[in-house]
Amino acid sequence: MIFLAYRLAVGGVRAVSPLLSAGDSKLARGIAGRRHAHGLLRSWGRTLRDPERPLLWFHAPSVGEGLQAQAVIRAVLERRPEIQIVYTFFSPSAEDLARRMNADVATYLPWDLRGPSRAALEALRPDLLAFTKTEVWPVLAATADEAGVPVAIVGATVPEGAGRMRWPARTLLRSTWGRLAVACANTEEDAARLARLGVRGEAIRITGDPGIDSAARRFGSADPGARYLAPFRARTRPTVVAGSTWPADEAVLLPGLVEARRRLPSLRVLIAPHEPDDRHVGALLASLRGMGWSAARLAEVEASGTADDVDAVVVDRVGVLAHLYGIGDVSFVGGGFHDAGLHSVLEPAAAGTPVVFGPKHRNARAAGELVASGGARVATDSGDFAEIVSGWLSDHEERKRIGRVAREYIVAHLGAAERSADILLETIGRAGARSGTR
């Protein structure tokens, strides 16, 4: 009954999708993408699918999961470059990443209904369907399993108290979890919770978090001479880089920065809002200027080639944050002052900077582990933030030591992408052996 209600709900949204897809909002873009996704996949499958080559269909809902998928896809192709890759996503925020994904075709996930799922699977004929981190779509997974396509999840994590551990999600998805041929868990705790969700014991493997490999690679690929980085390297100042901030974070961050600047007048800050649209960027600039900062957009600093007269920079684009962390002395990660969850602490840790964030970080295991290791601290309010940041910036040796601890956490956890890729390739090989192909 619950599963039927789910399918009716998805079908209802699909029925009104022509109305919901009007306009350029994130909701409209996402609905429009899903309306046309199964047609695009079916067209590609019929015209460009090479039946002599294995095909891996990878789904990741948004940017964070997409970066995990990207690391595993890269490792798969390093081992088997002939494999074709289909990449699907759910959130409009992942559109830019999808364009940069090393995939033969990338688009939104089709509607999670029998018709669109079956049409896409029949056209693509994948050797494996892999989900990422938390998201397994029940109808697509069931349709794939019934068609003989093994289903996997990589980077799988189930935080304590996760909604899918409770009714009705646990009841709705138990048969879905039970269909998984492979579940690459981040930790032993994740493995135990996957088993409680219904994943068969023989399907569970502990591989680590491929997002760590992705973060290390992104930071390592930074070009020190990039035009948007050069102005900050030309004349160094004590610098805080605040990434993926929301208004709830900024309500704590901005007063804290004012107090830190009172103690360290040469302080510079770069703030990268999670959604760098004109409205949010403009509001941040106005707030900073009202607090006495000389503030500019990153595009303005890049165009002028200098940041000498700028104390606060608001990042007005996506795709550069991992590299910007490298010019900071201290990093702040947003999301810890609202209930939607802390963003990734992996990129600033890979940059070797001390990391500070808000108290709401239960969803982010790496954050807790960084705090426990001494590579990060939790700020409870603006005064606490100012105290932590001022202390770090005033003690060069201690700041470098904490940064090394953060970086060592990353180094100690590398290799999950390669381990996950090996398991996926083993699964593809077994599926091919059973079908008498490849």
Query: Does any domain span residue 398?
Result: yes
**Is the CB of residue 317 less than 8 Å from the CB of residue 350?**
no
- pLDDT bracket for residue 435 (50, 70, 90): low
What was the pLDDT predicted at 167? 84
What was the pLDDT predicted at 417? 98
Pair (256, 286) in one structural domain: yes
For the ranges 7-21, 222-236, 287-301, 337-351, the lowest mean pLDDT is seen at: 7-21
- Whether 356 shows a pLDDT value over 90: the answer reads yes
Cis bond leading into 168, ω under 30°? yes
244-257: per-residue pLDDT in tens? 999 999 999 999 99
Pair (126, 268) in one structural domain: no
Pair (117, 230) in one structural domain: no
Quote the percentage of the chain above a pLDDT of 70: 97
Task: Report the number of distinct structural domains present in the chain.
Answer: 2
**Is the CB of residue 225 less than 8 Å from the CB of residue 326?**
no
- pLDDT bracket for residue 433 (50, 70, 90): low
Query: Does any domain span residue 219?
Result: no
Pair (184, 288) in one structural domain: no
Where in the sequence is the domain holding 422, given as residue range(s)? Answer: 2-208+415-435
Pair (170, 281) in one structural domain: no
SS (H, E, C) the chain: CHHHHHHHHHHHHHHCHHHHCCCCCHHHHHHHHHHHHHHHHHHHHHHCCCCCCCEEEEECCCHHHHHHHHHHHHHHHHHCCCCEEEEEECCHHHHHHHHHCCCCEEEECCCCCHHHHHHHHHHHCCCEEEEECCCCCHHHHHHHHHCCCCEEEEEECCCCCCHHHCCCHHHHHHHHHHCCCEEEECCHHHHHHHHHHCCCHHHEEECCCHHHHHHHHHHHCCCCCCCCCHHHHHCCCCEEEEEEECHHHHHHHHHHHHHHHHHCCCCEEEEEECCCCHHHHHHHHHHHHHCCCCEEEHHHHHHHCCCCCCCEEECCCCCCHHHHHHHCCEEEECCCCCCCCCCCCHHHHHCCCCEEECCCCCCCHHHHHHHHHCCEEECCCHHHHHHHHHHHHHCHHHHHHHHHHHHHHHHHCCCHHHHHHHHHHHHHHHHHHHHCCC
Q: Strand pairing partners for 355? A: 331, 376
Which of 37, 38, 44, 87 minimizes the C-alpha distance to 67? 87
What was the pLDDT predicted at 20? 72
Hey, how many other C-beta atoms are within 10 angstroms of the C-beta on 7?
14
- Domain containing 358 — which CATH number? 3.40.50.2000
367-415: per-residue pLDDT in tens? 999 999 999 999 999 999 999 999 999 999 999 999 999 999 999 999 9
- Whether 155 shows a pLDDT value over 60: the answer reads yes
What was the pLDDT predicted at 33? 86
- pLDDT bracket for residue 103 (50, 70, 90): very high
Residue 16 tokens, joined: 């009104």
64-91: per-residue pLDDT in tens? 899 999 999 999 999 999 999 999 999 9
- Domain containing 121 — which CATH number? 3.40.50.11720
Query: Does any domain span residue 283?
Result: yes
Query: Does any domain span residue 129?
Result: yes
**Is the CB of residue 239 less than 8 Å from the CB of residue 266?**
no
Pair (401, 421) in one structural domain: no
210-225: per-residue pLDDT in tens? 999 999 999 988 887 8
Pair (243, 309) in one structural domain: yes
**Is the CB of residue 157 less than 8 Å from the CB of residue 134?**
yes
Pair (293, 378) in one structural domain: yes
Pair (109, 173) in one structural domain: yes
Residue 22 tokens, joined: 């009007």
Using CA atoms, how far apart are residues 27 and 34, in angstroms rounded to an integer?
11
Query: Does any domain span residue 213?
Result: no
Query: Does any domain span residue 216?
Result: no
Hey, how many other C-beta atoms are within 10 angstroms of the C-beta on 56?
27
Query: Does any domain span residue 137?
Result: yes
End-to-end CA distance of the chain: 40
Using CA atoms, how far apart are residues 286 and 280, in angstroms rounded to an integer?
10
Pair (349, 428) in one structural domain: no
Query: Does any domain span residue 396?
Result: yes
- Whether 132 shows a pLDDT value over 80: the answer reads yes
Average confidence (pLDDT) over 246-274: 97
Pair (423, 396) in one structural domain: no
Which of 350, 354, 352 minimizes the C-alpha distance to 399? 354
Pair (145, 254) in one structural domain: no
